[in-house]
A and B are shown apart, each in its own frame.
Chain A
Amino acid sequence: MKRNRLDSVLLYATAILTCALLVFPIYWLVVTALSEPDQLRQLPPKFWPDQPRWGVFAQILAERPILQWLGNSALAAIGAVTLSMTVSVLAGYSLSRFKVRGGQSLGLFILTAKMLPATLLVIPLFGIFRQLELIGSLWSIILAHATLIIPFTTWMLKGYFDTIPRELEQAAMVDGCSPLGAMVRVILPVSAPGLAATALYGFVLSWSDYAYARTFLTNAQTNWTANLGITTMKGEYVSNWSDISAASILVALPILLIYLFLERYLVGGLTAGSDK
């Protein structure tokens, strides 16, 4: 398609302006983090600090237990993703390949479970975890995040397995594999990109949670996840926006990096998982 010059200029101008406007809040977060707190209280605002204080990240890591929070978030996410993936790889494969009685209803239930409001589930889970004495422990978060992740991953994986020809495992079975062997030796290796995308998506879901962490971990400061830690910083009497912004960048960074470098996988998973 040929465009004339004016159209081209207009297109580029619109694209640049739109991107700039939409990404500006993230840019502003960076500017805030790099500015001296005093400078933030001056008008007119500076759109790039005179002397970016790059040391702010090291300083904030030393002053606040951010590394611990990040570690907790990572632990919770890895735990929840491992648990969810184990269960949903098997279930997704079964839903994709076997005609199991009740399988369709189960699939529908899982689909509906994606829409469950966390604010409803958090109440009984609080009661259950209190009984099991899991409140304050990362295990409560791992289990709670599994309720968020399993419905997504099961459907994403089912969709992914559906795209792999059945003949592959039929060939493997003729070659002497058991059905489980065919799955482990052929289907799972072939699905590696899909498994990775699904796991990443689960990781993002877990990393972004606030409601469960707020409810189960509030009184266990050493087990705070990153999001919970950030909100407590924001809730302090005098907000030091510079420090909060620096901490926020550190918390958002893992997901932003996953997104920037593995966008194709994540987005593929997002659209595949969501139209079902």
Chain B
Amino acid sequence: MSRHTLRQGEAPTMPRAAFLDLARPSRRHWLGYLLLAPAVLLIGLIIVYPLFVSVDLSFQNVNIARLDQARRPFTTANYERLFASEDFWNACWVTFKLVVIVSTGCFLLGMATALLVNNRFKGQALARLLVALPWAVPEVIAVVIFAWLFDSSFGLMNWIFIKLGLVDTTINWFSSPSASFAVVCVVMIWKGYPFVSIMLLAGLQSIPEDFYNAARVDGASAWQRLLNITIPSLMPVLGVTLVLVMLWVFRDFSIIYVLTGGGPLKATQSLSIMTYEQAFGFFKMGYASAIGVITLIVCIIASRLMIARAPDTM
């Protein structure tokens, strides 16, 4: 068969403009830059530039952030005031307590549910879906649900507590500092554990069944299998998930703000709430930025720790 006749009907290859031809081997890497450009531009505009602005604000005595006004003189007054402020250290303590309690709660509940639905049984798929359902409830809605459950006059929880004989009179959950802190923890754990559950379940399902079969052949009990196979195999996922959950608790704003607004008596005022209150409650944006910058530094350190922990997933 002659090549000439077969080639009929085929348009001659159009020579591309030599300079703009990104298909050429020597030009192809240009495309890499070109594709990144929109992202770099947008991220620069809506993330990097604002970050600079907020760091800049934190060193000025500004009340309302107005970019069209001349820059105020450089001052470290915001930070000095911050470190001398009792409120700030209180917020740090509240945040710390929240991170520890909520992360622990999320982990225990997430781990337990993940192990539960990792068993094979009829309806496992449905159970898996239900167990992680709170993940799909927007935070604000979760707050609505629990605000009603813990309602001081007709809330279900008060009734249950009285029925169980735990208390003899209704508790006013949102006017007692320790009670409202407890409610915040409950809501955050309920909203946060499904993430742990989903992550750990994915981790569990990636452990080869052969590991367990080999252990069974060796006569390992269920408990030994959990300790010697499941937990070690999950370690990388556990580490990353733990950091992500802690960061979420650390930064979360909506749940506390809508549930208690930081009160009563600042008992639930975390760093996030304090930042927001100072910025948009008292319009002390320079001071608020200083708190924000502190939280940012903590977040960056934590995320760097996580990245260092999972280098192979990079």
Contact = CB atoms under 8 A, between A and B. Distances in A.
Contact of B131 (A19, A115, A210): A19
A119 B42 contact: no
A119 B296 CA distance: 10
B159 A87 contact: no
B174 to A, nearest CB: 12
B42 A274 contact: no
A137 B188 CA distance: 31
B127 A19 contact: yes
A121 B51 contact: yes
A143 interface: yes
Given A19-B127, A87-B42, A119 B295 contact: yes
A115 B299 contact: yes
Contacts of A256: 133, 136-137
A131 B68 CA distance: 7
A123 B54 contact: yes
A45 interface: yes
B314 A18 contact: no
Given A100-B33, A241-B148, A123 B57 contact: yes
Contacts of B279: 119, 122-123, 126
Given A1-B120, A128-B67, A90 B51 contact: no
Interface residues of A, number: 102
B307 A15 contact: no
Nearest to B200: A271
A15 B116 contact: yes
Contact of A120 (B142, B154, B293): B293
A118 B293 CA distance: 11
A65 B296 CA distance: 37
B12 to A, nearest CB: 13
B96 to A, nearest CB: 16
Interface stretch (B23-31, B78-86, B100-108): B23-31
Interface SS of chain A: helix, strand, loop or mixed?
A: helix
A179 B137 contact: no
A267 B135 CA distance: 10
Contacts of B133: 22-23, 26, 256, 259
A115 B301 CA distance: 10
Contacts of A259: 129, 133, 135-136
A67 interface: no
Residue among A12, A119, A144 with the most chain B CB within 10 A? Answer: A119
Contacts of A25: 134, 142, 145-146, 149, 190
Interface in B276-298: 276, 279-280, 285, 288-289, 292-293, 295-296
A86 interface: yes
User: What 10 A-B pairs have minimum CB-CB distances, sorted nearest first?
Assistant: A98-B32, A120-B292, A127-B65, A91-B39, A259-B136, A124-B53, A94-B35, A124-B50, A210-B254, A100-B32
27 contacts: A15-B127, A91-B35, A94-B33, A98-B31, A98-B33, A111-B303, A111-B307, A117-B275, A120-B295, A122-B276, A123-B54, A125-B50, A127-B53, A127-B65, A127-B67, A131-B66, A143-B46, A147-B47, A208-B138, A211-B254, A227-B141, A234-B144, A256-B137, A259-B133, A270-B199, A274-B244, A276-B314
